[in-house]
């Protein structure tokens, strides 16, 4: 994952992170917004997550809506902008979501 916003690179999650995200996806099945929010929350408890990773590995297809739901539930999630290059070579600006540890708006 590229944390240097001025230097885009291919978005390649570490194999251990990918495995963990897939395990989370398999643990919280279903396509409802609530199920997607559960997957995203479980992932954010462990890692910063890009919209690209959420779509690709967690089956969360409208990440901003799920983040908004989690924020309304009291979770302190910060959004950073990040430029990535996909496998097809296209540059995209995506959200990088980070849950602040030990912080809540509740």
56-104 tens-digit pLDDT: 999 999 999 999 999 999 999 999 999 999 889 999 999 999 999 765 5
- Domain assignment present for residue 85? The answer is yes
- Domain assignment present for residue 24? The answer is yes
Q: Please state the pTM of the whole predicted model.
A: 0.82
- Domain assignment present for residue 4? The answer is no
CB atoms within 10 A of CB 52: 19
40-68 pLDDT tens trace = 999 999 999 999 999 999 999 999 999 99
Number of domains into which the chain is organized = 1
- Domain assignment present for residue 106? The answer is no
User: In terms of residue numbers, what domain contains 78?
Assistant: 9-101
pLDDT for 11: 52
- Domain assignment present for residue 79? The answer is yes
Percentage of residues of the chain with pLDDT beyond 90? 78
Pick the closest to residue 5 from 88, 76, 95, 87 (CA basis): 95
- What are the residues facing 73 on neighbouring strands? none
- Domain assignment present for residue 36? The answer is yes
Mean pLDDT of the chain: 87
Contact between 75 and 51 under an 8 Å Cβ cutoff? The reply is no
- Domain assignment present for residue 3? The answer is no
CA dist., res. 76 & res. 57, Å (int)? 22
Contact between 31 and 59 under an 8 Å Cβ cutoff? The reply is yes
- Domain assignment present for residue 68? The answer is yes
């Amino acid at each position: 994952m590229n944390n240097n916003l001025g230097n885009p690179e291919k978005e390649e999650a570490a194999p251990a992170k990918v495995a963990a995200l897939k395990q989370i996806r398999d643990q919280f099945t279903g396509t409802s917004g609530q199920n997607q929010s559960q997957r995203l929350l479980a992932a954010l408890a462990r890692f910063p997550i890009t919209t690209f990773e959420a779509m690709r590995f967690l089956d969360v297809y409208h990440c901003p809506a799920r983040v908004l739901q989690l924020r309304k539930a009291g979770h302190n999630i910060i959004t950073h902008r990040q430029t990535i290059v996909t496998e097809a070579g296209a540059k995209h600006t995506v959200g990088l979501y980070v849950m602040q540890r030990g912080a809540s708006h509740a």
